[in-house]
Amino acid sequence: GIPKFILISVHDYNLPSFLLTSGYFTGKRKAESEVLSKYPSSGVVLRPGFIYGKRKVDGYEIPLDIVGQPLEKLLSSVENFTKPLSALPGSDLVLASPVNVDDVAYAVINAVIDDSFFGVFTIEQIKEAAASARV
C-alpha cells in the first residue's frame, strides 16, 4: 500500500568500476535496485555527493556549510573549464558539486508531490528538482 519510495543514495564520483565493488557502494546499488524494481514507475533514487548544512554531533554544531557553500559556488563558476576533466576516473572526488541539505529536502518534496518524478537523479537533477519545488 505504499505508493512511492524515495532513497537517498550516493554519487558514484566517477570511480573506476573495481572501486565501486566495495561494500559501501555495492550495498547502496543493491538498495537502489530493489527500490526501482519494487517501484518501477514511482521509485526515486537521489544520488547527491557531499551534503552540506548545519549538523549536530554530541551537542556540538558542525557548520558544514562553511566548506560546502563556497565550494559549490566555486565549482559552479569554473564548470565550463572543468567539464572536460569529468571523463577522468575519480575526477568527481574533486569536481562533484556539494549539495545543500535544503536542496535534497526540496527534491524529496518534489518527488512526493509529483507523480512524474521517478527514477535515478544526479546531483544536477537534484538541484533542478529543488529549484522547481521552491517555486
For the purposes of burial, counting CB atoms within 10 Å of the CB of 112, is it exposed (0-12), middle (13-18) or buried (19 or more)? middle
- Nine-digit cell at 25? 557502494
Q: What pLDDT is stored for residue 75 in this prediction?
A: 94
Spatial distance between the Cα atoms of 130 and 36, rounded to a whole number of angstroms: 21
115 falls in which pLDDT band (50, 70, 90)? very high
Secondary structure (3-state) at 35: helix
CA 50 to centroid of chain Cα atoms: 8
Residue 64 pLDDT:
92
Domain count for the chain = 1
Would the CA dihedral through 38, 44, 50, 55 be positive or negative?
negative
Q: What would the mean pLDDT of 12-21 be, rounded to a whole number? A: 87
- With cell 565549482, the residue in question is 75
Mean per-residue pLDDT, 92-109: 95
Q: Which domain holds residue 88?
A: 5-133
Mean of pLDDT over the chain: 93
Q: What is the distance, to the nearest Å, from the Cα of residue 21 to the centroid of all Cα atoms in its chain?
A: 19
User: Global pTM?
Assistant: 0.90
pLDDT level of residue 87 (50, 70, 90 thresholds): confident
Query: What's the pLDDT at 135?
Result: 67
CA–CA separation, 100 vs 79, rounded Å?
18
Q: Which helix (H) or strand (E) holds 86?
A: none
- The pLDDT-based confidence of 9 (bands split at 50, 70, 90) is very high
Which of 17-21, 74-78, 96-100 is the least confident region? Answer: 17-21
Look at the block and give the residue holding cell 533542478.
Answer: 128
**Confidence check: pLDDT of 50 > 90:** yes
Residue 84 in this model has a pLDDT that exceeds 70: yes
Between these two residues, 135 and 103, which has the higher pLDDT value? 103
User: For residues 100 and 54, is the Cβ–Cβ distance under 8 A?
Assistant: no
Yes or no: say if 81 and 74 are a contact pair by the CB < 8 Å rule.
no
